[in-house]
């Protein structure tokens, strides 16, 4: 397989994979273990909330701080390991970077992973690594690989038949790399009914479950009928399988049922008590956490809340790394801590797994990792003459942090370790994406050999079905 792909090539191959999935016909169920599709006594979780730090969150600036080096004009860049002071958390001897004190105060309720290692895929593109994280497959693939949320929706089904099993909150597709992002926000060959229900802006969540202004119920019903006619006359209707046609129809029927249900009120954040709303109201991401909590209460199965990937914004700190992270921490610290506390107080955390992750980390001086450096994408001077160069700008794949709470995850536990000196790489208990996915599936009671036959070959939840759960993370 080629080690380098540019954005255009990635998009072309991703589009080809979508067409290949259509041509492949319906997936054929393979023989699975008895826990397939069940969340029973062998499971510790029913629901997953993914808090996605889109753009590359630097571990040394967040959950794995190193020696603090304050900014000085004309300082050597290689001296800088962390640009924030470290402060104690609820766990003895464990520190977080300044600005994350609220999350640090709930760390006793979950596990801190300090040894995530991202894949080596040549020239680093955010969309390719995000595709890999969310699907567990390196792009491009000959078939459209399902998102983790779609696997879960397919295998376990909805907890509440009215609430979409897979809800995606906060990502727009009108920003840079939009088509590349769409490539993994899909159920792939599993079918549209297991794909995400999109809410780009949680403050307008109610708009997602009711007809547009000026459209009465009868007109909406006519549109529903027209939609079914379009399916029958579309390429899917003409060339697709019965499974694919029915999948498209069921996805619309689910949306129609939600529109007319009492549960649709969960999407209306204006009904949240003001004191609670204000804690979450740090921006789109914070309100997304609030909506995730409300949907968990109503029976959503998988919810993704993202800080949103848009090139050169958010965590994508190609300059002004230090000042940008000050703002990002304000967006996430209070809402994430409140989400954990709310779920715990409502008795939901025991069966709800909350995962905080990013596609890779960042470093001041290393692009890729020390023994597999790749093309540098940003000019980083050796001497820092301007504050905009102070911070972590380069993509780093050899170490990273994750947080996991609830759903059977150990409490007050730290897993893995990175070096205290540059390049701050993983030196104990590395965990890769197939281990992350399989740990989540294991907690949900989804068998590690879950597979479907596509193009006359098995397609597993992890490549070749080789992913193994990291049982040390589970209580």
Structural domain harbouring 123: 7-203+301-330+352-473
Q: What is the pLDDT of residue 21?
A: 43
Q: What is the pLDDT of residue 469?
A: 98
Q: Is residue 225 a part of any domain in this protein?
A: no
Check residue 146 and report its DSSP letter: P
Number of Cβ within 10 Å of residue 383's Cβ equals 11
Query: pLDDT of 286-327, one tens digit each?
Result: 999 999 999 999 999 999 999 999 999 999 999 999 999 999
Q: Is residue 233 a part of any domain in this protein?
A: no
Q: What is the pLDDT of residue 205?
A: 77
Domain count, the chain: 1
Cis-peptide, bond into residue 423, ω within 30° of zero: yes
Sign for the CA dihedral angle at 48, 287, 60, 382 comes to positive
Does residue 411 contact residue 129 with C-beta atoms inside 8 Å?
A: no
Q: How far apart, in whole angstroms, are the C-alpha atoms of residue 169 and residue 291?
A: 8
Average pLDDT of 46-68? 98
Q: Is residue 255 a part of any domain in this protein?
A: no
Paired tokens of 118: 């991202």
Strand-pair partners of 29: 452
Which whole-number Å values give the CA distances from 210 to 139, 260, 264, 292, 307, in the listed order? Answer: 36, 8, 9, 19, 25
Q: How far apart, in whole angstroms, are the C-alpha atoms of residue 421 and residue 410?
A: 28
Q: Is residue 291 a part of any domain in this protein?
A: no
Does residue 40 contact residue 61 with C-beta atoms inside 8 Å?
A: no
Half-sphere exposure of 211 (CA within 13 A, CB side): 14
Query: pLDDT of 150-165, one tens digit each?
Result: 999 999 999 999 999 9
CATH number at residue 364: 3.40.720
Q: How far apart, in whole angstroms, are the C-alpha atoms of residue 236 and residue 15?
A: 15
pTM, entire model? 0.86
Longest Cα–Cα distance of the chain, Å, equals 68
Q: Is residue 158 a part of any domain in this protein?
A: yes
Paired tokens of 303: 């919810």
Tokens 């290692």 correspond to: 117
Q: What is the mean pLDDT of the chain?
A: 86
Number of Cβ within 10 Å of residue 461's Cβ equals 26
Q: Give the model's confidence band at 33: pLDDT under 50 very low, under 70 low, under 90 confident, else very high.
A: very low
Which whole-number Å values give the CA distances from 152 to 38, 129, 320, 429, 450, in the listed order? Answer: 10, 21, 38, 27, 11
β-pairing, 383-384 vs 75-76, is antiparallel
Check residue 276 and report its DSSP letter: H
Average pLDDT of 331-341? 98
Q: Is residue 294 a part of any domain in this protein?
A: no
Does residue 243 contact residue 194 with C-beta atoms inside 8 Å?
A: no
Q: What is the pLDDT of residue 188?
A: 94
Burial class of 179 by CB neighbour count within 10 A (0 to 12, 13 to 18, 19+): middle
Q: Is residue 51 a part of any domain in this protein?
A: yes
Q: Give the rounded percent of residues in the chain with a pLDDT score beyond 70.
A: 80
Q: Is residue 211 a part of any domain in this protein?
A: no
């Amino acid at each position: 397989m080629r080690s380098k792909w540019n954005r255009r090539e990635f998009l072309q191959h991703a589009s080809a994979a979508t067409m290949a999935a259509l041509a492949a016909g319906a997936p054929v169920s393979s023989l699975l273990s008895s826990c397939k599709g069940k969340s029973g006594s062998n499971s510790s979780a029913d629901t997953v909330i993914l808090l996605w730090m889109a753009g590359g969150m630097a571990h040394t600036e967040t959950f794995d701080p190193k020696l603090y080096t304050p900014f000085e004009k004309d300082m050597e860049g290689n001296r800088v390991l962390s640009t924030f002071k470290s402060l104690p958390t609820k766990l003895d001897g464990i520190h977080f970077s300044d600005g994350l004190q609220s999350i640090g105060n709930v760390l006793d309720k979950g596990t801190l992973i300090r040894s995530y290692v991202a894949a080596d895929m040549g020239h680093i593109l955010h969309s390719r690594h995000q595709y890999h994280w969310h699907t567990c497959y390196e792009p491009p693939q000959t078939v459209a690989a399902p998102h983790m949320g779609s696997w879960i929706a397919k295998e376990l089904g909805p907890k509440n038949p009215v609430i979409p099993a897979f809800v995606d909150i906060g990502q727009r597709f009108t920003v840079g790399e939009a088509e590349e992002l769409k490539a993994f926000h899909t159920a792939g060959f599993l079918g549209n009914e297991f794909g995400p229900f999109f809410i780009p802006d949680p403050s307008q969540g109610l708009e997602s479950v009711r007809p547009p202004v000026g459209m009465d119920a009868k007109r909406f019903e006519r549109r529903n009928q027209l939609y079914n006619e379009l399916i029958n006359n579309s390429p899917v209707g003409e060339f697709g399988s019965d499974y694919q046609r029915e999948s498209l129809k069921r996805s619309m029927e689910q949306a129609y049922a939600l529109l007319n249900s009492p549960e649709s009120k969960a999407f209306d954040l204006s009904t949240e008590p003001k004191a609670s709303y204000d804690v979450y109201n740090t921006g789109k991401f914070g309100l997304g956490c609030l909506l995730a909590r409300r949907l968990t209460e109503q029976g959503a199965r998988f919810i993704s809340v993202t800080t949103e990937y848009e090139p050169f914004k958010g965590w994508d700190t190609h300059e002004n790394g230090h000042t940008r992270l000050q703002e990002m921490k304000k967006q996430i610290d209070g809402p994430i801590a409140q989400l954990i506390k709310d779920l715990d107080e409502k008795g939901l955390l025991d069966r709800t797994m909350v995962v905080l992750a990013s596609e890779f980390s960042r470093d001041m001086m290393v692009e890729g990792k020390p023994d597999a450096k790749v093309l540098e994408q940003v000019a980083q001077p050796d001497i820092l003459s301007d504050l905009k160069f102070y911070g972590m700008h380069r993509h780093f794949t050899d170490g990273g942090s994750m947080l996991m709470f609830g759903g059977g995850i150990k409490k007050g536990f730290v897993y893995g370790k990175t070096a205290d000196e540059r390049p701050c790489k993983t030196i104990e208990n590395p965990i890769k994406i197939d281990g992350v996915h399989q740990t989540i599936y294991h907690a949900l009671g989804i068998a590690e050999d879950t597979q479907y036959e596509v193009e006359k070959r098995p397609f597993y939840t992890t490549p070749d079905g080789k992913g193994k759960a990291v049982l040390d993370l589970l209580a």
